[in-house]
């Protein structure tokens, strides 16, 4: 019960990467807003001057969004800097320029060759009465996966007692409706 909910909580590394990506997205959105303000907002507001109320509302909205973006941008920048993912240790030894391109092409070619030749998995112990699996040949099906393994992490975080009580709650509600109907 407790271990299951603890196991589905994202690790600190995954949470840090998620915060980094969110901060990067917010900074990009603020940048796009400021570019729009710089190049296109004047014509948008000028087109509203035939109706002064709409022009006033647009100017108010742009002023409010400008102040909000000035507050959000430093916060997002600090999250971006604090949650920066670590560089891989092999990044110092990576080739650059044409040597890197040649290395990537070679990796792609070897990856295509490795995918065409599938490694065979060793056969497990044969149970009595079960047909033996052949030692060679591709597997015809994936091993059984639970339904929970395909769910989103947020849904996985639902405690088991709450999830199991859902059917009981449904049957109790149905019984109550039957009582009210009679």
> Cβ-count burial of 76 within 10 angstroms (0-12 exposed, 13-18 middle, 19+ buried)?
buried
11-15, 71-75, 125-129: which has the minimum mean pLDDT? 125-129
Q: What mean pLDDT is reported for the chain?
A: 75
pLDDT in tens, 134-170: 555 555 555 555 555 555 555 555 555 555 555 666 6
From 47-51, 74-78, 93-97, 173-177, the region with the lowest mean pLDDT: 93-97
**pLDDT (tens digit per residue) in 146-156:** 555 555 555 55
> 129 pLDDT exceeds 70?
no
Q: Has this prediction a pTM greater than 0.85?
A: no
Q: How confident is the model at residue 19 (pLDDT cuts 50, 70, 90)?
A: very high
């Amino acid at each position: 019960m407790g271990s299951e909910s603890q196991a589905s909580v994202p690790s600190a590394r995954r949470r840090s990467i998620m915060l980094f990506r969110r901060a990067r997205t917010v900074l990009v959105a603020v940048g796009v807003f400021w570019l729009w303000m710089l190049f296109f907002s004047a014509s948008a507001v000028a087109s509203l001057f035939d109706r002064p109320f709409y022009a006033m509302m647009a100017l108010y909205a742009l002023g409010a969004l400008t102040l909000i973006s000035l507050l959000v941008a430093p916060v997002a920048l600090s999250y971006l800097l604090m949650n920066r993912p670590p560089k891989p240790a092999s990044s110092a030894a990576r080739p650059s320029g044409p040597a890197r391109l040649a290395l990537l092409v070679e990796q792609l070619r070897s990856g295509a060759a490795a995918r065409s030749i599938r490694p065979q998995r060793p056969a497990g112990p044969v149970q009595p009465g079960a047909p033996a699996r052949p030692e060679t040949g591709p597997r015809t099906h994936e091993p059984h996966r639970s339904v929970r393994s395909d769910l989103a992490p947020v849904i996985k975080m639902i405690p088991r007692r709450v999830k199991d009580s859902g059917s009981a709650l449904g049957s109790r509600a149905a019984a109550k409706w039957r009582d009210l109907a009679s």
